[in-house]
Structure 1
Amino acid sequence: MDKYVKEKNIQSIFLVCGDSLQYLKINDYISDLSKRIKIVKFSDFKPNPLYESVVEGVRKYRESGCDFLMAVGGGSAIDVAKCIKLYAKLPGDGKNGSWLQSDGEVNNTELLVIPTTAGTGSEATRYAVVYYGGNKQSITSDTIIPDAVLFDPRVLDSLPDYQKKSTVMDALCHAVESFWSVNSTNDSKEYSRTAIELIIENIDEFVVGDNSKNSIMQKAAFIAGKAINITQTTAGHAMCYGLTSKYGISHGHAAALCVRELWPWMLKASEEACIDKRGNKYLKETFIELAEAFGENDLMDGCMKFQNIVDRLELMHLVGNKEDIEELSRNVNPVRLSNNPVKLNEDDITNLYKEIVR
């Protein structure tokens, strides 16, 4: 990183980071760097960051006068940094959600990210997520794709077991959903296939603490991120956000539960409810290719392999009631459903939630 700082002639850094930075080995380097150049830290945000946190970050960034942005952390830290870059040049103070109505302004300040999990893929995408008024806000702009990514495998050494499991499943769900998305391309499928194969081959060792697999999982998450940067996610992610906010489980856990039930349902419903313009034949071939990426030849065997991984990781189903299911069904984002190759109606969504929330 020293070489990068010198080449870019960086004089001051606005660092967006979580509180966990103090426990990571890379913090030693950042502390040493702060003796040589100005570093202003911003960590006033939580997982599933609020829009108000971004507004505060923009205010402090403007005051700092820093000429470079850096994010160290998981998806939340990276998303906050992306939004700070997007909104920093806009007029006003951003209060009352005013910046959410804008596409942002071009900001030539470069953004370097150092992911501390292997799952979100945010380091590779033009997307960010914040919450305003209790509702998820999806931010999209090509200008917020990070300019550079630094991977340090050591940051995963101390990642808690649950976070390891849920983040790697987030990456796997990204790859799976991108593969069957109506927006898929040959390039996105190749990214997805590569990510799936890397995860399948290494997940068991990774989740039990084999740190030699850290760099492989970082690579897989990054490649899966490149896939969804092309295609966006589908119904699995559309359905998972409500689970995260209502039950307090991690995003990857929620996505895994949704894809676990969605995949077999799609195999059964695709013949009659296919909405991919490339047609039923194409979609069936896609499901076959997806099974093969999982090392299986049969359509259902690929799906069952995914289910077995979720079960083996003990990412358990949730306990709820009829009112919970009704609320979850009402709040599914229809835009993400439009990316799904098989049409879901309200009854379909409700029935899938009944399998997830038992």
Structure 2
Amino acid sequence: MSQKIITAENGYAELDRWVKENNIKKLMLVCDSSLQFLTSINEHLPEIDTEMIRFDDFQPNPLYESVVKGVDIFRSSGCDGIMAIGGGSALDVAKCIKLYSNMKGDGAEGGYLSQEIVPNSIPFLAVPTTAGTGSEATRYAVIYYQGNKQSVADYSCIPETVMFDPSVLRTLPVYQKKSTMMDAFCHAIESFWSVNSTDESMGYSREAIKIILENMDGYFANDDAANANMLRAANLAGKAINITQTTAGHAMCYKLTSLYGVSHGHAAALCIRKLFPYMITAVDKCIDKRGEEHLRKIFGEIAAAMGCDTAEKAAEKFNEIFGKIGLEVPKMRSEADIDILKTSVNPVRLKNNPVGLDVPTVEKLYREILGE
């Protein structure tokens, strides 16, 4: 599916045009609490020539029940378009509302989760408010039902239009700017070396890495041009993982987030800074069907995208960036943490990793990740 990218230039003229061209009479606005801080777009919303139904009754790591409520409002209000403004949670909720809006029933007792997804043509525009998750470019959404993670996946939930508005990044807290940028960086690197990589996905990864490195300083200085470029990089990295899925870096990072209270992108970067140099030395454990030479070539291409002569120097550069932007390394609190971490890793994601990782290796990496 091709995705149209529009900008916020000229007073959101392209957004207004999208509403008009799709003949939207009632637009459901799915947004999170960050919207109140986004002065530019917030001030423009009342000027859009359509009735707007706002839905923000959800939490981070959104619940299935919240999506059901959103679907009910979408239907009962007669909405005919969806615009999502926010981070990953807002986009996930909007994706699921789109997917479930034409399903049978009211979704009670998990009803939507068991039905076959039938694609629909509801106009869907996304405005990502972080340059990190790339959720606006992927077919995945995550919600929770009865305490269990539900991974929803279908190409028809990808927004057909995305608007890059650099002003939304101006008020993003510095720590979030750091961690979301590193999330996009990790997406690009992991997709590049994934066993599922293709020429197309590697093209997205290569471009994303270059844009991130070229715009990092301007992004942290809140330069609008750099912010716009970073949004583009996150989108490209999202397109890459939409093809390949993530690998060991993400498989290993999730429990670090809950155990040590670090954000997702921070946790992913903690893992990649130790995984990358290890994998370079363990090419003989390659499980990619394309073989060891292919993997060496890929490491070399990642290095080239990062402006380095060798893979070793690229791994060093990644670690230097981690330190330069001031992300901290949490210290291991107890041996019990290692036991929890090594049993938390998603084996499906490990299958996407080009180097095989057994339990002792995962344990060794976690000890290094936690500064032991």
TM-score (norm 2): 0.91
Work out the percentage of aligned pairs sharing the same amino acid: 55
2:318 pairs with one of 293, 299, 306? 306
1:268-347 aligned at under 5 Å gives the runs 268-271=281-284, 273-319=285-331, 320-347=333-360
- What is the alpha-carbon distance in structure 1 between the residues aligned to residue 288 and residue 16 of structure 2? 48
- What is the alpha-carbon distance in structure 2 between the residues aligned to residue 351 and residue 151 of structure 1? 41
Q: 1:349: Cα distance to partner?
A: 1.6
2:101 pairs with one of 64, 75, 88? 88
Matched, 1:7 2:21: yes
Matched, 1:140 2:159: no
1:162 pairs with one of 154, 175, 194? 175
- What is the alpha-carbon distance in structure 2 between the residues aligned to residue 325 and residue 51 of structure 1? 31
2:54 is paired with a residue whose SS is strand
Write the letter of the residue equivalent to 1:267: I
- What is the alpha-carbon distance in structure 2 between the residues aligned to residue 170 and residue 194 of structure 1? 15
1:45 pairs with one of 58, 63, 69? 58
Task: Please name the residue that 2:212 is paired with.
Answer: 199
1:31 pairs with one of 46, 56, 70? 46
1:16 pairs with one of 2, 20, 30? 30
Q: 1:103: Cα distance to partner?
A: 4.2
Change (3 A) 1:308 1:134: farther
Q: 1:61: Cα distance to partner?
A: 1.9
1:58 pairs with one of 71, 74, 78? 71
- What is the alpha-carbon distance in structure 2 between the residues aligned to residue 134 and residue 328 of structure 1? 20
Q: 1:40: Cα distance to partner?
A: 0.9
- What is the alpha-carbon distance in structure 2 between the residues aligned to residue 86 and residue 18 of structure 1? 19
Cα shift readout 1:103-134 (whole Å, capped 9, x = no counterpart): 42322212111111111111111111223344
1:83 is paired with a residue whose SS is helix
Matched, 1:245 2:258: yes
1:150 is paired with a residue whose SS is strand
- What is the alpha-carbon distance in structure 1 between the residues aligned to residue 345 and residue 151 of structure 2? 13
TM-score (norm 1): 0.95
Structure 1 residue runs of 4+, over 6 Å off?
A: none
Write the letter of the residue equivalent to 1:278: R
Change (3 A) 1:246 1:88: farther
1:194 is paired with a residue whose SS is helix
1:168-183 aligned at under 5 Å gives the runs 168-183=181-196
Write the letter of the residue equivalent to 1:163: Q
Structure 1 unpaired stretches of 5+: none
Change (3 A) 1:296 1:156: same
Task: Please name the residue that 1:232 is paired with.
Answer: 245
Write the letter of the residue equivalent to 1:176: I
Q: CA RMSD of the aligned region, Å?
A: 1.6
2:227 is paired with a residue whose SS is helix
1:30 is paired with a residue whose SS is helix
- What is the alpha-carbon distance in structure 1 between the residues aligned to residue 107 and residue 358 of structure 2? 37
Cα shift readout 1:57-88 (whole Å, capped 9, x = no counterpart): 22222222200011001111111101111122
1:106 pairs with one of 101, 112, 119? 119
Write the letter of the residue equivalent to 1:85: K
Change (3 A) 1:61 1:328: farther
- What is the alpha-carbon distance in structure 1 between the residues aligned to residue 84 and residue 163 of structure 2? 10
- What is the alpha-carbon distance in structure 1 between the residues aligned to residue 282 and residue 19 of structure 2? 53
- What is the alpha-carbon distance in structure 1 between the residues aligned to residue 209 and residue 328 of structure 2? 22
1:117-136 aligned at under 5 Å gives the runs 117-136=130-149
Structure 2 unpaired stretches of 5+: 1-14
